[in-house]
C-alpha cells in the first residue's frame, strides 16, 4: 500500500536557525493541528514551503534543514523572495483571498501575480512527482495550490488525488469575475475528490463548473474525460481531547500554579463579581468583521448605559499578512477605534476594551476560554471557524456559558 502525501503552502513545522544549528518546532493551530492524526503514521509525507526563502537559507545548512524536516516526515519546496511576493502575498492573498470572501473591492487582478502563481504551483507539482509513486494518495490543501492537482494528473494519471479548500468558495456571480476562472477550475478538476467545509461552498463550485466549463454535473459528481470527480462537504473539527483535558487541568490548578494572565482575570472578577467578560479572538483580517464588532459594542454601551462598568470586551487580534496594504489599513482602523472608545467611555475603575495585538501561547488561550462569559465570534465570511469549537469544549461538563458565531 502506498503512502499518503499531504501538500500545503507551509509545512507543519517552524525552522529556527541559531548559531549554525537548525531546530524544527511543530506548529500549532489550523491545518497543522487538523491534519496531525493523518500525518502521524509512518507512511506519510508532508510537502510544503519551509518558511525560509532561498535568500534566508545559508547554503551550508541545506543538508541540515532537509534532515531536520525529514525527522518530522516533511520535505521542502524551495522558493525565493520574489516568488513568495508574487505567489503568496500577491495572487493568493491579494486576488484569491478577497475574491473568495466576497471583498471584490480589494481584489487585484495582476498578470504578474498570476504568472508567478502558476510557476510556483508547478514547483509544488514537480516536488510531488519526484517524491511519489503511482500507488500513493496525494492530498492537496487550500487556495494557494489550486492548479497542482491537474499538473500532477498530467504526469501521474493513475494516482489518487484529493483537494480540500479551507476557505469559502464564492457564488458563480463572484467567481466569474476572476480573469483566470477556467484555468483555476481545470486545475481543481485534476482531483478525484474535492472537499469543502459546507454544502453552500460545494454548491457554488458545482454551479461554476457547469456554467463556465459546460461539464456534466449529476448531484455531487462531475464527468470529465472518462473520469468521475466527486465533490462533497467535510466540516473540519478540532482536537477535542486536547482542549478538554487542558480545560480540566486548568480548573484543577492551585493559586500558586496559575499564570499571571489568569491571576489578572481572577482579580478583575473578584473586584466586580457581577461583571461579564466578552471574548473576541480572530486573526487580524477584514473577513472577520472585527471593526464592525467594536462599533456594535460601542453602540450597545451607548444605548444601554446601565451596562457600563459591568461588561468588558477582550479582543485578541493575531497578526496576519502585515505587509499587505489592506491589512495595514485594517490595523490602523482598529487601533484608532479602540483608542477612541476607551478614551470616551473609560472610568477610573473600568476600561471597556482590553485589546491585544499578538499571538498567545496555548496555556493563555485556555485561560481566556475558561474565564470568559461569552465568546463573540462573528466573521463576515469564514471557511470553518475553529475558535468557536475550541472555546465551547473548554467548559467542563459540556455546559457552555455562551458562544455566538456565524
In contact, 367 and 246? CB cutoff 8 Å? no
Residue 396 pLDDT level (bands cut at 50, 70, 90):
low
- Distance in angstroms (rounded) separating the CA atoms of residues 390 and 369: 8
Of these residues, 66, 72, 85, 166, which one is catalytic? 166
Is it the case that residue 36 has pLDDT exceeding 70?
Answer: no
Q: Tens of pLDDT along 352-385? A: 999 999 888 888 999 999 989 999 999 998 888 8
Range of lowest pLDDT (19-23, 125-129, 209-213, 241-245): 19-23
Q: Coil, strand, or helix at residue 353?
A: strand
Q: What domains does the chain contain, in order, with CATH numbers?
A: 4-233 (3.40.50.2000), 240-405 (3.40.50.2000)
Residue 404 pLDDT level (bands cut at 50, 70, 90):
very low
Is it the case that residue 173 has pLDDT exceeding 90?
Answer: yes
The C-alpha R_g of the chain, in whole angstroms, comes to 23
End-to-end CA gap in the chain: 41
- Distance in angstroms (rounded) separating the CA atoms of residues 392 and 274: 22
Q: Is 134 in the active site?
A: no
Residue 28 pLDDT level (bands cut at 50, 70, 90):
low
Cell representation of residue 326 = 489592506
Residue 331's nearest CA partner among 300, 358, 360, 365 is 358
- Distance in angstroms (rounded) separating the CA atoms of residues 368 and 315: 10
Torsion angles phi and psi, residue 102, rounded to 5:
70, 20
- Distance in angstroms (rounded) separating the CA atoms of residues 151 and 124: 9
Q: Is 141 in the active site?
A: no
Range of lowest pLDDT (14-18, 81-85, 130-134, 209-213): 14-18
Is it the case that residue 400 has pLDDT exceeding 60?
Answer: no
pLDDT attached to residue 123: 97
Residue 358's nearest CA partner among 346, 370, 348, 368 is 368
Q: Coil, strand, or helix at residue 8?
A: strand
Is it the case that residue 395 has pLDDT exceeding 70?
Answer: no
Of these residues, 136, 382, 393, 395, which one is catalytic? 382
Cell representation of residue 137 = 494518495
% of the chain residues with pLDDT over 70: 93
Q: Tens of pLDDT along 137-166? A: 999 999 999 999 999 999 999 999 999 999
Q: Does the pTM of the predicted model rise above 0.85?
A: yes
Q: Tens of pLDDT along 312-356? A: 999 999 888 877 888 899 999 999 999 999 999 999 889 999 999
Q: Tens of pLDDT along 48-99? A: 998 888 888 888 888 888 888 888 888 999 999 999 999 999 999 999 999 9
How would DSSP label each residue in 288-310?
Answer: GTHHHHHHHHHHHHHH-GGGTTT
Helices (H), 89-214: 97-100, 111-131, 148-155, 172-175, 181-188, 199-208
In contact, 383 and 165? CB cutoff 8 Å? yes
- Distance in angstroms (rounded) separating the CA atoms of residues 220 and 38: 25
> In whole numbers, what is the pLDDT of the chain averaged over residues?
89
Residue 402 pLDDT level (bands cut at 50, 70, 90):
very low
Amino acid at each position: 500500500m502506498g503512502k499518503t502525501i499531504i501538500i500545503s503552502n507551509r509545512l507543519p513545522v517552524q525552522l529556527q536557525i541559531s548559531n549554525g544549528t537548525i531546530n524544527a518546532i511543530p506548529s500549532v493551530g489550523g491545518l497543522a493541528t487538523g491534519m496531525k492524526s493523518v500525518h502521524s503514521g509512518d507512511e506519510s509525507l508532508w510537502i510544503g514551503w519551509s518558511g525560509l526563502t532561498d535568500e534566508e537559507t545559508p547554503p551550508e545548512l541545506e543538508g541540515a534543514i532537509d534532515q531536520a524536516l525529514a525527522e518530522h516526515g516533511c520535505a521542502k519546496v524551495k522558493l525565493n523572495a520574489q516568488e513568495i511576493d508574487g505567489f503568496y502575498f500577491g495572487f493568493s492573498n491579494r486576488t484569491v483571498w478577497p475574491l473568495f470572501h466576497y471583498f471584490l473591492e480589494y481584489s487585484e487582478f495582476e498578470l504578474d501575480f498570476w504568472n508567478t502563481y502558476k510557476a510556483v504551483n508547478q514547483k509544488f507539482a514537480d516536488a510531488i512527482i519526484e517524491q511519489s509513486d503511482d500507488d500513493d494518495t496525494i492530498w492537496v490543501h487550500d487556495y494557494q495550490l489550486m492548479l497542482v492537482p491537474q499538473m500532477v494528473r498530467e504526469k501521474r494519471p493513475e494516482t489518487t488525488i484529493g483537494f480540500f479548500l479551507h476557505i469559502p468558495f464564492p457564488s458563480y456571480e463572484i467567481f466569474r469575475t476572476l480573469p483566470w476562472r477556467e484555468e483555476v477550475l481545470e486545475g481543481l478538476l485534476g482531483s478525484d475528490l474535492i472537499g469543502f467545509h459546507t454544502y453552500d461552498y460545494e454548491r457554488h463550485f458545482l454551479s461554476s463548473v457547469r456554467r463556465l466549463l459546460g461539464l456534466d454535473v449529476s448531484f455531487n459528481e462531475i464527468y470529465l474525460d472518462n473520469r468521475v470527480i466527486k465533490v462533497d462537504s467535510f466540516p473540519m473539527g478540532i482536537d477535542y481531547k486536547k482542549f478538554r483535558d487542558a480545560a480540566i487541568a486548568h480548573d484543577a490548578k492551585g493559586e500558586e500554579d496559575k499564570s499571571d494572565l489568569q491571576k489578572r482575570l481572577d482579580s478583575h472578577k473578584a473586584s466586580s463579581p457581577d461583571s461579564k467578560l466578552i471574548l473576541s479572538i480572530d486573526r487580524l483580517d477584514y473577513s472577520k468583521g472585527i471593526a464592525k464588532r467594536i462599533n456594535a459594542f460601542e453602540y450597545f454601551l451607548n444605548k444601554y448605559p446601565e451596562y457600563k462598568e459591568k461588561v468588558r470586551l477582550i479582543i485578541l487580534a493575531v497578526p496576519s499578512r502585515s505587509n499587505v496594504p489592506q491589512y495595514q489599513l485594517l490595523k490602523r482602523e482598529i487601533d484608532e477605534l479602540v483608542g477612541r472608545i476607551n478614551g470616551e467611555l473609560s472610568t477610573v475603575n473600568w476600561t471597556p476594551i482590553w485589546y491585544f495585538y499578538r499571538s498567545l501561547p496555548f496555556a493563555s488561550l485556555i485561560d481566556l476560554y475558561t474565564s470568559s462569559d461569552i465568546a463573540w465570534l462573528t466573521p463576515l465570511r469564514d471557511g470553518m471557524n475553529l475558535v468557536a469549537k475550541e472555546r465551547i469544549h473548554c467548559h467542563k461538563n459540556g455546559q457552555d456559558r455562551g458562544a455566538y458565531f456565524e
